[in-house]
Amino acid sequence: MDILEGLGSIGIDLETVLQRFSNNAALLERFVLKFPKDETYKALKQAVEEKDYERIEREAHTLKGTAANLGFDLLSEKAAEMVEKVRKNDYADLEPVFEALSEEYSKIIAVIESNG
C-alpha cells in the first residue's frame, strides 16, 4: 500500500484532495511527507500543557489550515473547535478536544511513517 492509499484507508477523501493538487499525486505525496516534520502539533501540545491560550489559538489555527489543505478534515475540524473554544474563553472542555485531535493526528502520522 502506498502512502495515499494508506490515507484513503483511514477516511481521507483522496479524490477531493487530489483535485486541490491539480490531480498531481506526486505533489500531494511530497506535501504529505513533510507533514510529520511540521512543528505545529508539538507546539500546540506544549501550549495545552502550559495552558497558554493565546498560543493554543495560534497553533490550532495554523494546524487547522495545514490539515485542511492536505485533506485531513477531522484533524482540521478538531483544531477549528479548539480555536473557537479559546476565542469564546471556553477552556473547560479544551482538553478532551485536544485528546480527540491527538488521536487523529497519531493515526495520520502512523500511516505516513509506515508508508513513506
Domain limits for position 82: 3-115
CB atoms inside a 10 Å sphere around CB 27: 12
Question: Can you give the three-state secondary structure of 46-63, one letter per residue?
Answer: HHHHHCCHHHHHHHHHHH
* Cα–Cα dist 66/96, whole Å: 21
Per DSSP, helices labelled H in 12-93 are 14-20, 25-34, 40-50, 53-69, 73-87
Helix (H, G, I), strand (E, B) or coil at 14: helix
Q: Is 6 helix (H, G, I), strand (E, B) or coil?
A: helix
Taking every pair of Cα atoms in the chain, the longest distance, rounded to a whole number of angstroms, is: 43
Question: Cell 483522496 maps to which residue?
Answer: 14
Q: Which pLDDT belongs to residue 101?
A: 98
Q: What is the CATH number of the domain that holds 57?
A: 1.20.120
Give tens-digit pLDDT for 34-58: 999 999 999 999 999 999 999 999 9
> How many domains are there within the chain?
1
Write out the chain's pLDDT in tens, 116 residues: 589 999 999 999 999 999 999 999 999 999 999 999 999 999 999 999 999 999 999 999 999 999 999 999 999 999 999 999 999 999 999 999 999 999 999 999 999 999 86
